[in-house]
């Protein structure tokens, strides 16, 4: 491979995918099982055994407290944010988590942060891609909900780092979807992307012009998605069972998981059928079978879907547009298969009355990953397919500083094109003060306590001066990933001010570093895979040379015994290179090298002879089908 | 927490003059504020104190061709955006980030006529009330004298509306009155904008003729007064909208 490939990853609440650009089309890379999706489910039956994806499913029934799913909802969040959903998740938090601290899940006697769990999913996708390419993959574009705040973005980036992936760019999911759609047709005009996934909702409004994808406004809810529909149905089934069988299953994790599976199945059926059954076997052996009609289902989920209306209206308002000015609507995310969602978006954007239909041509589960692959390709330098394509995204939330009295002074408004920056000046309030604390928040509310706390920055080492005299210039910069960077300098002394950052819900660099080390055994597993691939390549090279050997004059100079010996060892190498035993393959390859050593020497001699007759060593080598770098193809097999 | 009084919107001033430089890659001359080298195309470190007008190569005039501005923004984005430097050296990546954020900040300000006007006034050394004072609280500008009576009336109606809502009542007459007030204030806002536009034209003439300071100062004063009035009326319209929406 000429250069390292950059893959595109959709790290979803329910499912995750990895894709890349094949020629001028993005394609999803399947796993070993042939499936495009890797469920974002991680089972940790014991600390040495981490199981990701479909194989983790059975543990939901057998050991539900050792399985984590929908961890995306916990990324960059605090214990105070997630009380509601914790009730229905089978896994448990560590008991000693303080507010504004990074979450820790307790699985057995081990603790895992949400980025670590996500890292296992990413590592699986990385493995799938490496298996597909037969080469290491270390760089990726990862998608995030557009409405993710700084902490949630940082947590996603940290997860990449723990998984051994350099995240070159975080792309907003609706924007990625627009990229995937934009590749096929020459679109111009205004596009709205309505993205209702497993756990998050986003609305983005873009302006497309000659390959530029300019996001004008975005809005959403990072706590709204298919999961909420499942939770509503689960609550109803639990109530129902309590009433009918006098059974309280809400504390029975295994039963709750069985109900979860049953309601998800029913939900999916209801997207195409008029009625479905929530059916399962209760722990007491009795069957539970409840009919649910499309109409009942729609009544139940209406409140969830209504929560998408506000963000849509706000985005339109921020963009300064009326619904009828939206040229195209793209539907993304598995939950947009629900007929009621289709009706709601039709109404919101007045589609059918304008003779329009929403775009659903691309698989709503895959479109985000495909768009990530397009963006990865753009970062690689692009090609004809992505020529002129450029993404200009925005920050979803306003950035502010807590001023006196707890009021927020907004410094970067939401929907500002990123990267965006602002420079502010600070001073001291007391004579000789050498520290200034800055509290940075994200959100739209007036008071800092109602906004999301991002971090507290402590400007240190200010030269002691009278109050109000120091002039500290602080630059706040939101990069193209939507992540905040802060730098400061004291202007009078010209000194770079030292900044100590306390991320509110995040991990420090050091903590991330430690988590990479903790998952080292998996890195080793990857390394072993890579070594096996390399050993197979070595073996293939030497076998190709052996196959051609009989046609070389030097072959006839070997004895019959030598011919037999080479044939036997070569066969052994051939068999072993199909298997997984690295050491045996290496040993056999070395033995084959030994067995062919005399032949190599004879060949060298004849090559020297032919060089005298006007032939070069290289051309003698080339006749045996090997590259010009090796003087003879059967060189001592050295494991690099 | 020690006093971290956020200064109202800080900015680079015109005093810090930017200087021409040589391209880091080919050594060719790069004019101050130019983000890339015309000779070799390489991105350059941002120069200090480049103002938003310079970013787009525009004179300090207030009337702008928005279509040309957008075209220019797209053209420059295609040269500077971090996506194009994902595999470049760390220095170039940093410069791309700095140059693009400057470009985006400049575009955001320049495409909005009010933000552009306020920005230019600041470049001219005028302290603009950015809607919040030292303690971050929105500062009420004084009521324009000619509006005193209408504002008094409006505030009564808004208060009544709030009371009604608390009691869960709806008074159609009050609603109609508020809607009428909104129309009235909106037309006043439009009038302010028309006056502003004529001031912009006059300002641009002065820039073109490089005329003396007295006239420029007079126009500046008028613009500042109009901006204050505009901000005040806009807040009124916002309050009425909020009252009517709920
Ligand atoms: Zn140059």
For A326-352, how does the pLDDT look when each residue is reduced to its tens digit (9 = 90+)?
999 999 999 999 999 999 999 999 999
Does B86 touch chain A if contact means CB atoms closer than 8 Å?
yes
CATH number at residue A474: 2.60.34.10
Does one domain contain both A433 and A502? yes
Whether residue B167 lies within 8 A of chain A, CB to CB, comes out as: no
In terms of residue numbers, what domain contains A331? 182-224+307-361
A426 and B CB contact within 8 Å: yes
A435 touches chain B (CB under 8 A): yes
Place of tokens 């290179």: A577
The token duo for A450 is 């109602």
Res B212 pLDDT > 70: no
Residue A356: phi, psi to the nearest 5? -110, 160
Cα separation of A379 and A373, whole Å? 10
Reduce the DSSP state of residue A17 to 3 states and report it. strand
Q: Which residues of chain A make contact with B107, given a CB cutoff of 8 A?
A: 417
Identify the DSSP state of A246.
-
- Same domain? For A255 and A270 the reply is yes
List chain B residues with CB under 8 Å of A429: 2-3, 5
Q: Ligand 1 centre and the CA of B95: distance in Å?
A: 14
To the nearest whole angstrom, how far is the Cα of A499 from the nearest Cα of chain B?
A: 14
- Cross-chain CB nearest to A407 (options B2, B3, B136): B136
Per-residue pLDDT tens digits for A206-220: 999 989 999 999 999
3-state secondary structure of A80: helix
Distances (CA, A) of A141 to A17, A26, A27, A156, A597: 12, 13, 15, 11, 47
Q: Is residue A369 part of a domain?
A: no
- Portion 40-79 of B in contact with A at CB < 8 A: 74, 77-78
Q: Peptide bond preceding B196: is omega within 30 degrees of 0, i.e. cis?
A: no
Residue B8: per-residue pLDDT: 30
A362-396 as b/e: b if 16+ CB within 10 A? bebbbbbbbbbbbbbbbbbebeeebeebbbbbbbb
Cα A68 off chain centre by: 16
pLDDT at A547: 87
Report every protein residue that has its C-beta within 5 angstroms of ion ligand 1. Answer: B 23, 25-26, 28, 37, 39-40
User: CA-CA distance, A195 to A200, in Å (whole number)?
Assistant: 8
Q: How confident is the model at residue A437 (pLDDT cuts 50, 70, 90)?
A: confident
Domain annotation covers residue A373: no
Q: How many residues does chain B have?
A: 246
Banded pLDDT at B20 (limits 50, 70, 90): confident
Query: What is the number of structural domains in chain A?
Result: 5
Contacts of A53 (CB under 8 A, 6+ apart): A31, A38, A39, A41, A121, A124
B97 in reach of chain A (CB within 8 A): yes
Set of chain A residues whose Cβ sits within 8 Å of the Cβ of B93: none
Q: Give the number of A-B residue pairs with CB atoms closer than 8 Å.
A: 115
Q: How many CB atoms lie within 10 A of CB B229?
A: 21
pLDDT interval class at A469 (50, 70, 90) = confident
Give residues 168 to 187 of A whose Cβ lies within 8 Å of B. Answer: 168-169
Residues 469-498 of A with CB under 8 A from B: 473, 477-480
Grade residue B134 by pLDDT with cuts at 50, 70 and 90. Answer: very low
Q: Are residues A117 and A186 in the same domain?
A: no
In the predicted structure, residue A50 carries a pLDDT above the cut 60:
yes
- Residue B99 pLDDT more than 80? yes
Mean pLDDT of B178-202: 90
Helix (H, G, I), strand (E, B) or coil at A9: strand
In the predicted model, is pLDDT for residue A102 greater than 80? Answer: yes
Q: Dig out the tokens for A392 from the structure.
A: 């200009």
pLDDT digits 0-9 by tens, A263-287: 999 999 999 999 999 999 988 888 9
- Among A74-88, A486-500, B207-221, whose mean pLDDT is lowest? A486-500
User: Are B7 and A424 inside 8 Å of each other by CB?
Assistant: yes
- A328 plus A312 within the same structural domain: yes
* A294 lies in the same domain as A316: no
Q: Residue A496: beta bridge partners?
A: A489
Tell how far the Cα of B137 is from the centroid of ligand 1, in angstroms. Answer: 48
Establish if A634 belongs to a structural domain: no
With a cut of 50, say whether residue A630 has pLDDT above it. no
What pLDDT sits at residue B135?
A: 39
Say if residue B209's pLDDT is above 80: yes
Q: What is the mean pLDDT of residues B227-238?
A: 87
The answer to whether B214 faces chain A, any CB pair under 8 Å, is no
Average pLDDT for chain B:
82
Are A78 and A505 in contact by the 8 Å Cβ rule? The answer is yes
B82:A378 CB<8 A: no
Query: pLDDT, tens digit, for every residue of A491-549?
Result: 777 776 667 666 777 787 788 777 774 544 445 566 677 678 778 888 888 888 888 88
B105 and chain A in contact, CB less than 8 A: yes
The verdict on residue A379 lying in a domain is no
Interface touch B2/A392, C-beta < 8 Å: no
Q: How far is the CA of B43 from the centre of ligand 1 (A)?
A: 8
Number of H helices, E strands in chain B: 7, 2
* pLDDT, mean of residues A373-381: 94
Give CA angle at A492 (A488, A493), nearest 5°: 75
Euclidean distance between CA atoms A490 and A507, whole angstroms: 28
In a domain, A141, yes or no: yes
> Cβ(A6)–Cβ(A165) under 8 Å?
no
Q: Is the pLDDT of residue A609 over 60?
A: no
Give the integer Cα–Cα distance in Å for B88 and A85: 43
Whole-prediction pTM: 0.80
Q: What is the per-residue pLDDT for B48?
A: 82
Question: Which residues in B lie closer than 8 A to residue A2 (C-beta atoms)?
Answer: none
> Is the CB of residue A219 less than 8 Å from the CB of residue A311?
yes
pLDDT at B5: 35
Last residue of a domain, one of A147, A176, A205: A176
ipTM of the complex: 0.84
pLDDT confidence of residue A466: 87
Give the C-alpha separation, A304 to A16, whole Å.
Answer: 23
Determine the pLDDT at residue A498.
Answer: 67
Nearest CA in chain B to A424: B10
Q: Which residues of A touch B1 (CB under 8 A)?
A: 402, 437, 439
Look at A419 and B101 and tell me if their CB atoms are within 8 Å: yes
- The CA distance from A12 to the nearest CA of chain B, in Å, is 23
Q: Is residue A78 part of a domain?
A: yes
The answer to whether residue A209 neighbours chain B at the CB level (below 8 Å) is: yes
Question: In the predicted model, what is the mean pLDDT of chain A?
Answer: 86
Other residues' Cβ atoms within 10 Å of the Cβ of residue A96: 9
Whether A581 is in a domain gets the answer: yes
In degrees, to the nearest 5, what angle opens at C-alpha B46 toward C-alphas B41 and B47? 115
CA closest to A388 among chain B residues: B78
Same domain, A158 and A231: no
Yes or no: say if A452 and A408 are a contact pair by the CB < 8 Å rule.
no
CATH number for the domain that contains residue A263: 3.90.640.10
The pLDDT of residue A628 is above 70: no
Least confident of A450-454, B4-8, B79-83: B4-8
Residue A5 at interface with chain B, using a CB cutoff of 8 Å: no
Co-location of A400 and A269 in the same domain = no
> Do residues A441 and A340 both lie within one domain?
no
Q: Which residues in B lie closer than 8 A to residue A209 (C-beta atoms)? A: 74
Per the CB < 8 A criterion, the answer to whether A311 and A221 are in contact is yes
pLDDT at res. A501 = 67
* A52: β partners: A42
Report the percent of chain A where pLDDT is more than 90.
52
Give residue B128's pLDDT.
67
pLDDT of A638 > 70? The answer is: no
CATH 1.25.40.340 fits B14-123, yes or no: no
Does one domain contain both A163 and A196? no
A86, A197: one domain: no
Task: Determine the average pLDDT of the residues in B175-193.
Answer: 88
pLDDT at B22 over 50: yes
In this structure, is residue A186 part of a structural domain? yes
**Helix pair angle (A114-133, A150-162), 10° resolution:** 50
Same domain flag for A22 and A136: yes
CA-closest candidate to residue A52, choices A63, A65, A61, A43: A43
Query: What pLDDT is recorded for position A536?
Result: 86
| pLDDT of the residue at B143 | 73
Question: Mean per-residue pLDDT for A427-444?
Answer: 88
pLDDT at B18: 55
Q: What is the CATH number of the domain that holds A215?
A: 3.30.420.40
pLDDT (mean) for A353-382: 94
Instruction: Confirm if A115 and A162 have CB atoms less than 8 A apart.
Output: yes
Q: B213: helix, coil or strand?
A: helix
- B1 and A379 in contact by Cβ < 8 A? no
Say if A458 is an interface residue toward chain B (CB within 8 Å): no
Same domain, yes or no, for A165 and A189? no
DSSP state of B202: H
pLDDT digits (tens, 9 = 90+) for A120-155: 999 999 999 998 988 889 999 999 999 999 999 999
Please give the distance, rounded to the nearest whole angstrom, from the Cα atom of residue B117 to the centre of ligand 1: 35
Confidence grade of residue B136 (pLDDT, cut at 50, 70, 90):
very low
Q: Where are the domains of chain B?
A: 14-123, 139-245
Question: For residue A296, what is the enclosing H or E element?
Answer: helix A294-306
The secondary structure of residue A137, as a DSSP letter, is: -
Asked if the Cβ–Cβ distance from B105 to A421 is below 8 Å, we say yes
pLDDT value for A527: 63
Q: Any chain B CB within 8 A of the CB of A417? A: yes
**B6 vs A409, A418, A433: nearest CB:** A409
Alpha carbon distance A295, A304 (integer Å): 15
Point out the residues of A that are catalytic.
Answer: 10, 72, 173, 195
Backbone angles phi, psi at B21, to 5 degrees: -150, 170
Q: What is the pLDDT of residue A156?
A: 96
Asked whether the beta carbons of residue A379 and residue B77 sit closer than 8 angstroms, the reply is no
CA distance A269 to B185: 54
| Residue A49 burial (C-beta neighbours within 10 Å; 0-12, 13-18, 19+) | exposed
Looking at the predicted structure, is the pLDDT value of residue B78 above 90?
A: yes
């Amino acid at each position: 491979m000429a250069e390292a490939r950059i893959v595109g990853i959709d790290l979803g609440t329910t499912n995750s995918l990895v894709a890349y650009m094949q020629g001028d089309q993005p394609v999803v890379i399947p796993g070993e099982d042939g499936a495009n999706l890797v469920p974002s489910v991680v089972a940790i039956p014991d600390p040495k055994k981490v199981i990701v994806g479909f194989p983790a499913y059975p543990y939901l029934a057998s050991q539900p407290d050792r399985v984590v799913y929908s961890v995306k909802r916990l990324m960059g969040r605090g214990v105070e944010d997630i009380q509601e959903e914790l009730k229905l998740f089978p896994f448990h938090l560590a008991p000693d988590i303080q507010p504004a601290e990074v979450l820790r899940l307790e699985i057995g006697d081990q603790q895992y942060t949400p980025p670590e769990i996500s890292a296992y999913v990413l590592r699986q996708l990385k493995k799938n891609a490496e298996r597909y390419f037969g080469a290491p993959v270390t760089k990726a574009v990862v998608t995030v909900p557009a409405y993710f705040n700084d902490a949630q973005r940082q947590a996603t980036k940290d997860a990449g780092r723990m998984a051994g992936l350099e995240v070159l760019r975080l792309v907003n999911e609706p924007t990625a979807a627009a990229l995937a759609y934009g590749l096929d047709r020459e679109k111009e005009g205004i596009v709205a992307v309505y993205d209702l996934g497993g756990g998050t909702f986003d609305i983005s409004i873009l302006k497309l012009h000659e390959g530029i994808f300019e996001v004008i406004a975005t809005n959403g809810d990072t706590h709204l998605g298919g999961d909420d529909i499942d939770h509503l149905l689960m609550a109803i089934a639990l109530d129902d069972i309590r009433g009918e069988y006098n059974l309280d299953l809400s504390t029975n994790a295994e039963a709750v998981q069985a109900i979860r599976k049953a309601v998800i199945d029913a939900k999916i059926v209801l997207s195409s059928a008029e009625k479905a059954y929530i059916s399962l076997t209760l722990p007491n052996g009795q069957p539970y079978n409840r009919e649910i009609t499309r109409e009942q289902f729609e009544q139940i989920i209406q409140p969830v879907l209504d929560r998408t209306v506000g963000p849509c209206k706000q985005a339109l308002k921020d963009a300064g547009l009326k619904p009828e000015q939206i040229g195209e609507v793209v539907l993304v995310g598995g939950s947009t298969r629900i007929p009621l969602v289709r009706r709601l978006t039709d109404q919101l954007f007045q589609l059918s009355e304008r003779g329009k239909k929403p775009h659903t041509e691309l698989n709503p589960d895959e479109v985000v990953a495909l768009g990530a692959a397009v963006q990865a390709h753009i970062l690689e330098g692009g090609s004809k397919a992505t020529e002129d394509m450029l993404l200009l995204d925005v920050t979803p939330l306003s950035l502010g500083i807590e001023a006196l009295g707890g009021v927020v002074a907004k410094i970067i408004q939401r929907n500002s094109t990123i990267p965006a920056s602002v420079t502010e000046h600070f001073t001291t309030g007391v004579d000789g003060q050498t520290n200034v604390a800055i509290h940075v928040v994200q959100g739209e509310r007036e008071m800092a306590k109602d906004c999301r706390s991002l971090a507290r920055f402590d400007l240190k080492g200010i030269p002691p001066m009278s109050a109000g005299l120091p002039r500290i210039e602080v630059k706040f910069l939101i990069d193209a990933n939507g992540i905040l960077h802060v730098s400061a300098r004291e202007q009078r002394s010209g000194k770079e001010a030292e900044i100590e950052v306390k991320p509110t819900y995040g991990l420090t660099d050091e903590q991330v570093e430690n988590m990479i080390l903790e998952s080292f055994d998996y890195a080793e597993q990857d390394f072993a895979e890579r070594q096996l691939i390399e050993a197979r390549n070595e073996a293939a090279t030497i076998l190709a040379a052996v196959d051609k050997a009989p046609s070389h004059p030097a072959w006839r100079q070997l004895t019959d015994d030598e011919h037999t010996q080479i044939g036997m060892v070569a066969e052994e190498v051939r068999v072993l290179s199909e298997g997984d035993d690295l050491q045996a393959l290496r040993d056999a390859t070395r033995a084959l090298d030994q067995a062919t050593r005399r032949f190599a020497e004879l060949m060298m001699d004849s090559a020297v002879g032919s060089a005298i007759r006007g032939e070069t060593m290289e051309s003698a080598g080339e006749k045996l089908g090997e590259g010009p770098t090796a003087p003879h193809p059967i060189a001592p097999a050295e494991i690099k | 927490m020690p006093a971290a009084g956020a200064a109202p919107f800080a900015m680079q001033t015109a005093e810090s003059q930017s200087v021409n430089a040589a391209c880091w890659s080919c050594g060719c001359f790069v004019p101050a504020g130019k983000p890339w080298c015309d000779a070799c195309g390489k991105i350059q470190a941002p120069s200090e104190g480049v103002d938003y007008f310079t970013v787009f190569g525009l004179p300090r005039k207030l009337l702008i061709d928005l279509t040309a501005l957008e075209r220019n923004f797209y053209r420059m984005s295609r040269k500077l955006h971090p996506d194009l430097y994902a595999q470049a050296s760390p220095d170039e990546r940093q410069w791309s980030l700095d140059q693009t954020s400057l470009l985006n900040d400049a575009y955001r300000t320049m495409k909005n006529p009010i933000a552009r006007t306020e920005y230019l006034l600041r470049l001219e050394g005028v302290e603009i009330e950015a809607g919040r004072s030292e303690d971050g609280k929105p500062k009420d500008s004084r009521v324009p004298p000619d509006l005193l009576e209408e504002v008094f009336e409006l505030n009564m109606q808004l208060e009544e509306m709030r009371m009604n809502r608390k009691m869960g009542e709806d008074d159609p007459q009050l609603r109609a009155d508020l809607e009428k007030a909104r129309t009235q204030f909106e037309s006043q806002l439009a009038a302010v904008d028309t006056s502003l536009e004529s001031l912009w034209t006059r300002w641009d003439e002065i820039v073109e003729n490089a005329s003396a300071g007295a006239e420029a100062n007079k126009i500046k004063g008028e613009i500042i007064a109009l901006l204050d009035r505009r901000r005040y009326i806009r807040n009124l319209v916002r309050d009425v909208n909020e009252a009517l929406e709920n």
